[in-house]
Structure 1
Amino acid sequence: MTDTIAIWIATIVVLFFGIDALFFDGFSAVFLARKMLLLIEWVAFWR
């Protein structure tokens, strides 16, 4: 991955969390965090 692509991805992620915090009170971030924890738990089960 080049530096340019990494900067763009980081910018998009920061904008997503910023917009989510301003307009949606962080609901999407909490939802994604919960789903990620479920995914990690599921993958750990199959390990």
Structure 2
Amino acid sequence: MKIIWPPLAIDRVGEIAQYIAQDSPNSAQKWVESTFQVVERLEKFPKS
């Protein structure tokens, strides 16, 4: 399965990360990495 990120989704991830980064830049970075890892997992194992 191939995941296609629409531009709006990428924008939203960036907006959320900026919001989190106001209090904790480290947490924002971890959240972004975690989000992309989950999506990659969905791509590899779509039925899990």
Which TM-score tier does this pair reach, normalised by the shorter chain?
A: 0.3 to 0.5
Instruction: Specify which structure has the bigger relative contact order, considering alpha-carbon pairs within 8 angstroms and separated by 6 or more residues.
Output: 2
What's the TM-score once normalised by structure 1's chain length?
Answer: 0.47
Whichever structure has more helix as a proportion of its residues is 1
Quick check: which has more Rg, 1 or 2? Answer: 1
